[in-house]
Amino acid sequence: MIYLKLFLEFFHIGLFSFGGGYATLPFLYHIADVQKWYTTKELADMIAISSITPGPIGVNVATFAGFKTAGILGSLIATTSVILPSFIIVVIVSKVLEQFKHNKYVRSVIYTLKPAGCGLLAAVGVDMFINNINIPGMVLLAGLFFASLTEKRDPLFYLGVSALVGLIAGFFNLTG
């Protein structure tokens, strides 16, 4: 039953992804490996599109992956189930806010979860770097990286510049 599977996969993403905007990516790559609902190439395109559409990127990409897997109903299930753990956890934490803030176990778990979330994303970052980038891509990435060192810019700046460079590179058949 594809819908139940979708629900379970995306519920567990919402429950275990930790550390912000891109923290859902390790899980989505894992799904591509295990469930074969979409390829990693398709996922890379979905992430690119999600980055330039309105809304939190985690929600965008879940909706997209659900759509790819099982159409509109699939996207509805994926979106609902990725957000459901957040809803439940936030409501519970809000009810016991003071205890939550001062609980030593909570603090200790956050202390160990933060580097774990970072490690998961780093693994995805390395994977994206090795598998999806040709030589012209490296040049673009290096350029963007140096631009990021000089000053803090809006994410849309990098996406806009790289879209433009992609368009130009396409004319010279550099995009592979």
Partner 1 sequence: MEKTLYNIFKTFFKVGTLLLGGGYVILPLLQCELVEKRNWINDDELCEYYALSQSIPGIIAANTAIFVGYKLKKTAGAFAATIGITLPAFIAIIIVAKLIEEIIKWKFIQSIFWGVGIGVVLLVFLAIKEMWKKSIVDKFTCGIFFLVFILSACFKAPPAALIILSIFIGIWIEYQKKIEHGEKQE
- Look at residues 19, 38, 134, 137 and name the one whose alpha carbon lies nearest to residue 47: 38
Q: d(Cα 96, Cα 93) in Å, to the nearest integer?
A: 5
For partner 1, give the closer residue by CB, 3 or 127: 127
Residues 107-166 that bind partner 1 (CB under 8 A): 107-129, 132-133, 137, 140-141, 144-145, 148, 154-156, 158-159, 161-166
Q: Which of 6, 32, 64, 77 binds partner 1 (CB under 8 A)?
A: 64
Q: How many CB atoms lie within 10 A of CB 88?
A: 12
69 forms part of the interface with partner 1 (CB under 8 A): no
70 forms part of the interface with partner 1 (CB under 8 A): no
Q: What dihedral angle (degrees, nearest 10) is formed by the CA atoms of 116, 9, 58, 64?
A: 150
5 forms part of the interface with partner 1 (CB under 8 A): no
The least distance separating partner 1 from the CB of residue 28, rounded to whole angstroms, comes to: 10
| Cα-based distances in Å from 125 to 37, 69, 121 | 21, 24, 6
Residues 7-46 that bind partner 1 (CB under 8 A): 12, 14-27, 30, 33, 44-45
Q: Which of 48, 73, 96, 99 binds partner 1 (CB under 8 A)?
A: 48
Q: Which of 4, 94, 102, 151 binds partner 1 (CB under 8 A)?
A: 94
Helix axes 25-34, 2-16, angle to 10 degrees: 150
| 57, 50 contact by CB (below 8 A) | yes
For 88, which DSSP code? H
Q: Which of 50, 70, 77, 81 binds partner 1 (CB under 8 A)?
A: 50
The least distance separating partner 1 from the CB of residue 2, rounded to whole angstroms, comes to: 17
Largest CA distance in the chain: 60
For partner 1, give the closer residue by CB, 3 or 117: 117
